Structure 1
């Protein structure tokens, strides 16, 4: 297939077909793997770094970063405000944000910043596209002076691209990050049940920390870089040709 959108339509069609086959012939069934989080086994939490950004709806933001090589986990949540324990319907002055846990040997904060700027409109005031409001504002959260320096430099470069409009992105020292409710995690992936089935219908707590789920979340939203989108296309096409083995990596 030439695009993720066409693949996803094909997958939904095949899901319906497979259900009818399963009802008439028990030899045809989808194999479910042992439970696994699909997180690289050689990495420990101590070797990972964390970055937090706000760039509009956290459903989309989580999908944007999940595709990147070196990103191990993504979590949608709330940051940038003063309210204790915010909730989706009562988030106070927080912004919808995404926390990214990444392997600094594969990707660094400077590269994440580049992707941040290219993935939204930092000149739109308090919103992105149809999502307008304080919770959708653009923010770079930093941990320490070096990240603050890199963020400021990147903001200046972005502003230099156009003097007729102003970059509205804020730079803040990260105080607290509150993970959003489970129904908001991997939201784009959950809109495609067959993709969930292809990775073994992981329980919620495993889905939230799965590297594979983070990538497929971006794929489902068609937000991966073209090279990665095509790479996942090929994997899924291979699964279709081979007759429903379980997807364990991309």
Structure 2
């Protein structure tokens, strides 16, 4: 990318990271979890897709035995894998059998350290809930990206904000790899801390009118007065 074009990117996307790690998690329908993690400090990018099955190239309509999965890249200097797992167990119900295979709770570990932390987190959750945790712990093998219409689902419910970000990132890959886009998807879903949201608003690449649109959605979600259907 030309230096001049880089300077036009949202400030949040001009940050570089010396080292990143990847987490792959399944916690039911993947739309909500992508927004949840996208709003977390230290999460660099998010994407939704399918993992854990035996068939090749699954789609949303031909998911077969795969699970709806969210995958995220994160900066371990800002957020740890253990902290991500805390959010994982706090925001879904891993104590019941899923109504469909695709909604199974699972942690796909990328390293022995992640496996150890996953099993420790399960033990902690069982002690806290006093119930057996049904979450599967599986070695990561492959992740299939879901169709574009499923990426950043919460953001796609707010066309004015979506359109402005798509003008910055007209290519799907760049759009989905943007930290600013991931963060906006989380904020428009009502996730994240209000103080940090206000601090980051100017770094998201949005015009002032669209910033106000985003703020209205964030506050409405926070108050439980949803301005759009999730």
TM-score category by the smaller chain? 0.7 to 0.9
Stretches of structure 1 that go unaligned for 5 or more consecutive residues are 1-32, 127-131, 245-250
1:142 corresponds in structure 2 to 109
Higher relative contact order (CA 8 A, sep 6+): 1
Q: Does the CA-based 8 Å contact 1:35-1:200 persist in structure 2?
A: no
* Matches for 1:105-144 after TM superposition, within 5 Å: 105-126=77-98, 132-144=99-111
- Structural RMSD (CA): 2.9
Select which of 33, 56, 61 maps to 2:33: 61
Q: Residue 231 of structure 1: CA displacement?
A: 4.9
Alpha-carbon distance in structure 1 between the residues aligned to 2:211 and 2:112: 51
- 1:191 counterpart = 2:157: yes
Query: Paired residue for 1:6?
Result: none
In the superposition, the TM-score normalised over structure 1's length comes to 0.72
Corresponding position of 1:221: 189
**Of 167, 170, 180, the match for 2:133:** 167
Q: Go from structure 1 to structure 2 and tell me whether the alpha carbon gap of 1:124 and 1:199 turns closer, same or farther (over 3 Å shift).
A: same
Compare CA radii of gyration and give the structure with the larger one. Answer: 1
Structure 2 counterpart of 1:70, from 42, 55, 58 = 42
Q: Is the 8 A contact 2:201 2:211 kept in 1?
A: no
Q: Quote the offset at 1:35 in angstroms.
A: 6.4
Conserved? CA contact 1:39–1:209, under 8 Å: no
Structure 1 segments, 4+ long, off by >3 Å, are 33-38, 197-200, 225-236, 240-244
3-state SS of paired residue (2:73): strand
- The total of aligned residue pairs comes to 204
